[in-house]
Structure 1
Amino acid sequence: MLTLKGLSARFANPDVTRAFANIVWLGLERVTQIAVAIVISGMLARYFGPDTFGKWQYANTLLLVLSPITWVCGAEILVPTIVKRPPEQLGTVLGSAFALRLSVSAAALLLTWTSIAAGLTDPLVGAMLAGLAVTMLFREPFVGVINSWLQSMTYSKPQLLTSMSTAVVKAALVYLLVRAATTPSRFGWLWALESAAIGAVLLVYYIRRHGGTLGWHLDRSLFRHFATAGTVFWLGLICMYLFLKLDRLMLERAISFANLGRYSAAQQLNENWITLALMLAQTIAPAFVYRVQEPAHLRRNMWRLTAMTAALMIGGAVVLDLLAGLIIRRVFGPDYEGSIGIFRWAVWLSVPAGIEAIGNLIVLKYQAKFVLLAKWLLALAVAFVVNLLAIPRLGAYGALVGLAVGYLAAASVNLYYIRLKLRS
């Protein structure tokens, strides 16, 4: 039994104290980002109107589908490499990862700009995406690499504090641009400026921590290792994000941009709710999943976490369902009445989404990369077929059906893997 004395001794451990402080900062950053995202969406939705806001949301959807391409050599590869290598090799590790991510990000950006120039998107969507896409050049090469170094020390405060500060400044600048009646096509460059600012601040912080020099070097063998290691996880993440945004990609071909704007408004609020709820539920997950080795104990913990998450999601969905009209009108204004019904149904997606996320902890614990890839490939394929059948008949509500069936398919794969892995 854990006594008060034992608890005090545990928190006296500097590693535990550092980890706890890191979790607190992570929570503050997530809450800040969610609040800022809602405020900014409300301002832009009212300023743009449903049609232009739909194009803005579609440009962001395209960005979120393209961004995972730049996630090569993810933190699950880079952080352990930093920890295992001696300190004098840090510059070589970070330099090699930076070179790889920068080259991939630059290629993704050029591909995006080429597609826009070729007229593959609506002109206004393309103009918005042109600025938004520049974030890829800074997020993973600069912010991602330095953040991996900070994670290796269990000290993400500099990155999180910078991210919170720039988010608040961005909200203020959006307000000023709206008051100045800035054309919608220019707003994307504000997101590019934010990512560049975060990258610059973190780069200066790293240099100051290392005697005023960067000291990054490229090692070709390490570059090749980073390019191939974690490929399956990388492909799995690409499939996951494509699944999460497939509804908007397919709706764009079936409904007007104004209705897409109303659908996206509802879904953005719903996704923020899911993110916040999962963050609260998963904060305690490492202690109950990653550090537990005995199968029977782990199985019990999984059932408890799943039940807790389901209860949290159901309770939240009930409240949001009841308050849907008030929330939509307060955040987005009277032009988004059509979002209310969509939001009332969308919030119930949080239940299968939460159950899937908890089950995914076992997949991550045992680094089951092919299970991860197969799961999201299945969810993507199932959602695509359901969308093809349901969207022509049900419109935006058909896309919600596709998401629900996809989440259930992914959760089923998790359940099968858990039963196989943790069987007595």
Structure 2
Amino acid sequence: MKLPHIPGFDQDALNKYFKNTGWLILARVGSLLIKVLVGFAIANYLGRDQNGLLNYPQAFIAFFIAAAALGVDGFTTRELLKYPEKKDELLGTALRLKLVGGILAMPLIYVGYLTNQHFFTPTQTPLSYILIIGLSGITQAFYITDSYFQATVKAKYVTFTQVFGNIISALVKLLLILNHAPLAWFIWAIFFDTVILAFGYLYFYQKKVGNLSNWRYDKSVAKHLLSNSWPLAFSAILVSLYMKIDQLMVDSYLGSGQLGIYSTVVQLSESWYFIPVAIVTSVFPAVMNAKRDDPERYQKRLQNMYDLMVWMSLSIAIITTFISPLAYKIIYKEEFWSGAYVLSVHVWAGIFVFLGSASGQYLIAEGYTKISLIRTAVGAILNIMLNIFLIPKYGIMGAAVATLAAYFVATFLILIIPKTQKQGLMMLKSLFLVTLFQKITKR
């Protein structure tokens, strides 16, 4: 897979790493199409109230799943780049840590649910639904093999696993719809998705890389991973908080019916978020190599990455804004149509998600994990405060505005931190298309 020519970019470097990125994007595009189409069918089948009940558990357990991962995935990828010969110790240790985290998350989920029911506005979602989906914290521990595939630029195995898994998942859910299954079966189907992916990742590692039985736990490696990954773990929790808290607060203030509508907005708006993750994950080795060998090229690659993020996200936002009313009327039943105008606002948050993903890789490359933590915390706190004020007054539109504002502030917080200010200015140049126009005019 070859990247089309982009004026002003280092084409050889982009083509080299796009071979890996292309596989990732192919996987996510396939997954996107399947998930979105099945999501349309499920929402229309369940209706807005039950669709809200289906989405609430996924938002609720996101914080606990993030905590269970312990932040070791990203750091393990970085360590595998540095010490590929230690893959058995790194992967074996990371797996055990994540398994323990997933198991310990279950009682915390239970306590969290009871706390919400007694001290806040009770949700209509049964505890059993939340606990079932909470089990995915255990199965997702096996996703650690994905870290190896990313570090070694072998994303095609991720592609095969995700596409196959999503095809099976789609078939299962369509069968449930055709057989008029109750909501509980769809809850189990969501957990089943994680099981399929876990088996797929393990299968390809065993077949293409090495014997899983060679993985081993190393106490010193565990200490090293935990001591360095805790800021990333805390950051992941905060990311899930400010990306999911709006859905929980919509349910709390407005009920499951409005959450059902808002969930369709989030699904469509966030369905594009795989793009920056896929690109920056695959290009990360190139960024790290440039940092080590050529500081000037390092800065150039970062600027190119920011430009690419803005160009793609801005295109998506503009197109979605204009087509959302018609799209909702074609895709959803009338009870969901009010989500169209909310989507036209929410989708603009994607620009800051794209830039945030790119600048997040810079923070990791420089070892500024605490700064990543700070900006995420600020975004999460701001999102909660804005939701408290805006949702009661403006409903789900208020939640969309709060999300947009919080993402903007979190992404550009690095502007006020001296050692990251230069990167913030580079992102501003990309945001206002300054560097993109410079590249075009230099042709």
- Residue equivalent to 1:409: 409
Partner-residue secondary structure (3-state), 1:181: coil
- Residue equivalent to 1:78: 76
- Residue equivalent to 1:3: none
Maintained 8 Å contact 1:309/1:355: yes
TM-score, structure 2 normalization: 0.81
Provide closer, same or farther for how the CA distance between residues 119 and 92 of structure 1 changes in structure 2, counting only shifts above 3 A.
same
* Letter of the structure 2 residue corresponding to residue 91 of structure 1: D
Partner-residue secondary structure (3-state), 1:230: helix
- Residue equivalent to 2:43: 45
Partner-residue secondary structure (3-state), 1:154: coil
CA distance in 2, matches of 1:27, 1:77: 22
CA distance in 2, matches of 1:102, 1:122: 29
CA distance in 2, matches of 1:161, 1:215: 24
Equivalent in 69, 81, 94 of residue 97 of structure 1: 94
Provide closer, same or farther for how the CA distance between residues 356 and 147 of structure 1 changes in structure 2, counting only shifts above 3 A.
closer
> Which sections of structure 2, spanning at least 5 residues, go unmatched?
1-10, 426-443
Instruction: Encode CA deviations 1:18-44: one digit per residue, 9 max, x unaligned.
Output: x54322211111111211221121111
Q: How far 1:230 moved relative to its partner?
A: 1.2
Q: How far 1:206 moved relative to its partner?
A: 3.6
Maintained 8 Å contact 1:363/1:414: no
Instruction: State how 1:348-363 maps to structure 2 within 5 Å.
Output: 348-363=348-363
- Residue equivalent to 2:314: 314
Instruction: Encode CA deviations 1:303-326: one digit per residue, 9 max, x unaligned.
Output: 665455434433332221221122
TM-score, structure 1 normalization: 0.84
- Residue equivalent to 2:177: 178
Maintained 8 Å contact 1:80/1:152: yes
Say if 2:139 is the partner of 1:138. Answer: yes
Instruction: State how 1:274-285 maps to structure 2 within 5 Å.
Output: 274-276=273-275, 278=276, 282=280
CA distance in 2, matches of 1:152, 1:316: 29
Partner-residue secondary structure (3-state), 1:383: helix
Q: How far 1:419 moved relative to its partner?
A: 2.5
* Letter of the structure 2 residue corresponding to residue 419 of structure 1: Q
Q: How far 1:101 moved relative to its partner?
A: 1.0
Which segment is superposed worse, 253-262 or 348-357? 348-357
- Residue equivalent to 1:106: 103
Which segment is superposed worse, 56-65 or 148-157? 148-157
Which segment is superposed worse, 191-200 or 295-304? 295-304
Equivalent in 60, 63, 75 of residue 62 of structure 1: 60
Maintained 8 Å contact 2:146/2:158: yes
Provide closer, same or farther for how the CA distance between residues 124 and 183 of structure 1 changes in structure 2, counting only shifts above 3 A.
farther
Q: How far 1:383 moved relative to its partner?
A: 1.7
Maintained 8 Å contact 2:379/2:409: yes
CA distance in 2, matches of 1:388, 1:119: 16
Maintained 8 Å contact 2:89/2:216: yes
Which segment is superposed worse, 57-66 or 161-170? 57-66
Q: How far 1:212 moved relative to its partner?
A: 6.0
Q: How far 1:279 moved relative to its partner?
A: 5.5
- Residue equivalent to 1:22: 20
Q: How far 1:237 moved relative to its partner?
A: 1.8
Q: How far 1:298 moved relative to its partner?
A: 5.9
CA distance in 1, matches of 2:70, 2:234: 9
Partner-residue secondary structure (3-state), 1:395: helix
CA distance in 2, matches of 1:289, 1:308: 15
Instruction: State how 1:253-332 maps to structure 2 within 5 Å.
Output: 253-276=252-275, 278=276, 282=280, 290=288, 292-293=290-291, 305-332=305-332
Which segment is superposed worse, 374-383 or 408-417? 408-417
* Letter of the structure 2 residue corresponding to residue 182 of structure 1: A
Q: How far 1:106 moved relative to its partner?
A: 0.8
CA distance in 2, matches of 1:220, 1:279: 31
Maintained 8 Å contact 2:89/2:218: yes
Say if 2:421 is the partner of 1:419. Answer: yes
Maintained 8 Å contact 1:281/1:309: no
Instruction: Encode CA deviations 1:246-291: one digit per residue, 9 max, x unaligned.
Output: 2112222110211111111112101113444x36875896598555
Q: How many residues align?
A: 407
- Residue equivalent to 2:129: 128
* Letter of the structure 2 residue corresponding to residue 169 of structure 1: I
Provide closer, same or farther for how the CA distance between residues 83 and 274 of structure 1 changes in structure 2, counting only shifts above 3 A.
closer
CA distance in 1, matches of 2:35, 2:194: 15
CA distance in 2, matches of 1:409, 1:34: 28
Partner-residue secondary structure (3-state), 2:215: coil
* Letter of the structure 1 residue corresponding to residue 72 of structure 2: G
Provide closer, same or farther for how the CA distance between residues 78 and 273 of structure 1 changes in structure 2, counting only shifts above 3 A.
closer
Provide closer, same or farther for how the CA distance between residues 91 and 388 of structure 1 changes in structure 2, counting only shifts above 3 A.
same
Provide closer, same or farther for how the CA distance between residues 127 and 322 of structure 1 changes in structure 2, counting only shifts above 3 A.
same
Maintained 8 Å contact 1:239/1:380: yes
Instruction: Encode CA deviations 1:118-139: one digit per residue, 9 max, x unaligned.
Output: 8846454433323222221111
Provide closer, same or farther for how the CA distance between residues 93 and 309 of structure 1 changes in structure 2, counting only shifts above 3 A.
closer
Maintained 8 Å contact 1:360/1:414: no
Maintained 8 Å contact 1:359/1:415: no
Q: How far 1:73 moved relative to its partner?
A: 4.7
Instruction: State how 1:84-233 maps to structure 2 within 5 Å.
Output: 84-85=82-83, 87=85, 90-113=87-110, 120=117, 122=123, 124-140=125-141, 142-144=142-144, 146-208=145-207, 214-233=213-232
Provide closer, same or farther for how the CA distance between residues 138 and 374 of structure 1 changes in structure 2, counting only shifts above 3 A.
same
Provide closer, same or farther for how the CA distance between residues 232 and 178 of structure 1 changes in structure 2, counting only shifts above 3 A.
same
